[in-house]
Amino acid sequence: MTSRRVFGPPETSMEPSPRIGLALGGGFARGIAHIGVLRIFERNGIPIHCVTGVSAGSIVAAAYASGAHPDEIASAACSMRFGDVARWSLSRTGFVVSKRMTPFLQRLLKHHRFEEMPTPLGVVATDLCTGEPASFRDIGDVFLPIRASCSYPGLFQPVRSSGRVLVDGAMSIGIPALLARELGATHIISVHLPAPPCGRPPADVFQVIRRCFQIMQTRTEDGWRQASDLVITPDLRDIAWDGFECGPELVSAGEAAALAVLPKIESWFSGVPCQCSEGRDPGLSRPFPQVVRLT
């Protein structure tokens, strides 16, 4: 059985223990990779002060914040299919409705309201009219914010709430690192799931929309990267956006990427700068981008 280490400040230190905020990006089925990161953190006793997410990342974030174990989340995610969370329904604003996501979340989450979460949770959607992020935290039902955050424009119909029309959170912010900071985190770890390279021209309207979305997200990365102390980028190769059948492979990719940066995270708790090389997944050719601001 693997021993579980719990990190904290040295007994002789008067410095407060780092409060880690985990910010999870989108990726639909590729979001299963987030679970691998959580598995490694859980196995190594890395404490998570708060967790935030957009799109697929909001589902994993909510499940973990509610008290679900990473193994439980992995089991549900690897068996999930598109029809479990969505239903085709043609309308002027989209082709799919996400009401089926609510019973799926009811089964997965241990708690269903923000104020009940054992770990503080933040979810971000996008206000389609203003273009601004719509952040949900502290109080209220989690189901509608998650559905809104997962409402990929052009495919899913927008979600309406309190007079607002809400769509995918990644439209306004790729990874909600700043929201984790607002929830009290001193050190932000962002998990980035970049899209696979565009190997051929888009062949239909959905591929066109998806490619436009990818280009837009690439151009707006600077904001969340500057707010992050560490960025983890699992090597997902060419796994498709709807590759639910690749669940175990996605989890393994998340685990490998998290293991690669453990020395950096452990150095935050020891107070000793990490002397190892920059964290990198062996499957990647470039090191993970890191901006370290220890407080």
Q: What positions carry a catalytic annotation?
A: 55, 168
Closest by CA to 62, choosing from 98, 106, 96, is: 106
- Exposed, middle or buried by CB within 10 Å (0-12, 13-18, 19+), for 118? exposed
Q: Among the residues of 109-176, which ranges form H helices?
A: 143-149
Q: Strand 187-191 relative to strand 159-161: parallel, antiparallel, unpaired?
A: unpaired
CA distance 37 to 70: 9
User: What's the CA gap between 46 and 151, in Å, rounded?
Assistant: 31
CA 164 to chain centre: 23
What is the rounded CA–CA span in Å between residue 157 and residue 132?
Answer: 18
Sign of the CA dihedral 18, 226, 145, 132? positive
- Which residues have a Cβ under 8 Å from the Cβ of 274 and sit 6 or more positions away? 263, 264, 266, 267
